[in-house]
Amino acid sequence: MTSYFLKAGIGYSISTIIAAIANASFWLLAVKFAEPSDVGLASSAFSMPVLLSTIAALSFEYPIIKYISKDKSFFGSILFFEIVIHLLLIPILLLSIQQITDNFLVVVFAVIVLLSFPLQQISSVALMGSFLIKPVNIMNVVGAVLKIIILIVFSSFHLGSLGILLALSSQFFIIGTVLLIIAFKKFGFEFKISTLKTAFLEGISNYPTKLTGVFQYFGSISILTLFAVPFEDIAGFTLSYGFLVLITAIPAGFSLLSISSLTKEKESSAVSMTWGMAIAIPIITIMFTSSDWILSIYKDIYSKYAGLLVILAISIIPLILKTNVITMLNNQGALKKIVLLGIIESIIFLSAIVFLVPSIGAIGGAWAVAISSISAAILSLYWVNNTIRRIFFTSILIVAVGVASGLLVQQIIDNRLIVTLVGFGTSTASMFLFRLIRFSEILFIINQIKSRNF
């Protein structure tokens, strides 16, 4: 076990958990202050600039993290390129937004998100690449809390979708600006053609896999909008997918931190995957046993999307496997395998969603995510070693045990809280029983947190 890696992972995890809780609270408040149709419209208008921006990013986070500690020009070169590209994307964004609304303020907020997104992403990734994780952690938490405050302040004006978009765009702009200033002081603004060439080579190799992830979330919402799926159903899909994003955020962060230049080891994907699974498994169990109860926290009307949430829950373990396999392949320099993985998953996802959404609506988007994620996992298992295969199948077994125990108790006691606690407790205990994690490792983490040594 690598203490160097875990210290970074602990710090990142704590801030991510806080930010995720704040983000869930934001949407909880949003659905209280706005009608489902307004939530759906805001989600669609927000997804379009994020989709365009993420597509334009070309998976540059991998070369930035890998090389920034050796060559500071990776920050300035990539940032300059991304700013130019995002300025060129504005007309495309305007045409896209006009398909769903003619509200001028919606357009303004969408443009702010589009231009702020690369500032925030490139700056935060560059800082993490130099192991300056603390300012990124702080700003993640500040940003999540900030958008809640803005939403609450403007809720009294009954702005509906505009209030949600105002909060989201303000968060992106302020956090992006602050992180840009911090990164600029650290790295300066040096531009090199040779740096950009290297970034293109490795970024494009990772691009297909990243594109699939973008399509699965923001692309799904955009596609649902284009197929005229009711905004209420889009809101249900957005809230349900939010749990998937919440659960996979920490494992994804662990996988990025396990890139060899950070961990100073040849390979730590097994460590990354173990702790990613350990964090996700109890929550996945709850998603299976209490999906309608989870969604009713927002509003009772959203509990009807419980089936959609369960389908998305199927995707989580395969997604955690895939993110760690991508990092493993990057560490090995196996760029062709990364390209192949991304292309196959993208083709399967797009084929599935275009076929399913017209016939079964928003739930078709969830099935497309699940099908493509499982297909990527099957290919990933072919490439990984026996250690990672064992972690993957052990995780599935633990979730199955937790879900079965929860459903069994449900047949005896009609109390959703008890069912949830039993499922959560059984899956947590099973992680130790099946030796996914050990008590000694938990004690190490507790000691690190007590000493604040991260």
Note the pLDDT of residue 393.
94
CB contact at 8 A, 285 and 427:
yes
What tokens appear for 427 in the block? 């899956």
Note the pLDDT of residue 401.
93
Please give the mean pLDDT across all residues of the chain.
79
269 exposed, middle or buried (CB, 10 Å; 0-12, 13-18, 19+)? buried
Q: Is the dihedral of CA 143, 55, 363, 94 positive or negative?
A: positive
- Residue range 364-376, pLDDT digits in tens: 888 988 998 899 8
Note the pLDDT of residue 429.
92
* pLDDT mean over 304-316: 88
Note the pLDDT of residue 261.
46
Strands in 381-442 per DSSP E: none
Note the pLDDT of residue 71.
81
More confident residue, 342 or 182: 182
* pLDDT mean over 227-255: 74
The percentage of the chain sitting over the pLDDT mark of 90, rounded to a whole number, equals 9
- Residue range 98-155, pLDDT digits in tens: 777 778 888 888 889 888 888 888 888 888 777 677 787 788 778 878 888 888 877 7
Q: Is the dihedral of CA 72, 75, 80, 82 positive or negative?
A: positive
pLDDT at 454 over 50: no
Rg (CA), the chain: 21
Note the pLDDT of residue 405.
92
Alpha helices in 59-192 (DSSP H): 61-67, 73-97, 104-129, 133-155, 161-187
- Residue range 395-439, pLDDT digits in tens: 999 999 999 998 898 888 878 788 889 989 999 999 999 988 777
Q: Is the dihedral of CA 151, 279, 241, 52 positive or negative?
A: positive
Note the pLDDT of residue 255.
64
pTM above 0.85, yes or no: no
Cα separation values, 266 from 2, 273, 333, Å = 12, 15, 12
More confident residue, 85 or 38: 85
Return the closest-CA partner of residue 131 out of 257, 255, 253, 16: 257
Would you mind telling me the total number of residues written for the chain in this entry? 454
Rounded CA-CA distance 272/53 in Å is 27
Q: Residue 408 contacts by C-beta under 8 Å, 6 or more apart in sequence?
A: none
Note the pLDDT of residue 2.
46
Which backbone phi and psi does 264 adopt, to 5 degrees? Answer: 60, 30
Note the pLDDT of residue 265.
47
- Listed by start position, the domains of the chain span 3-451
- Report the 10 Å Cβ neighbour count for 396: 14
* pLDDT mean over 291-307: 81
Rounded CA-CA distance 124/54 in Å is 15
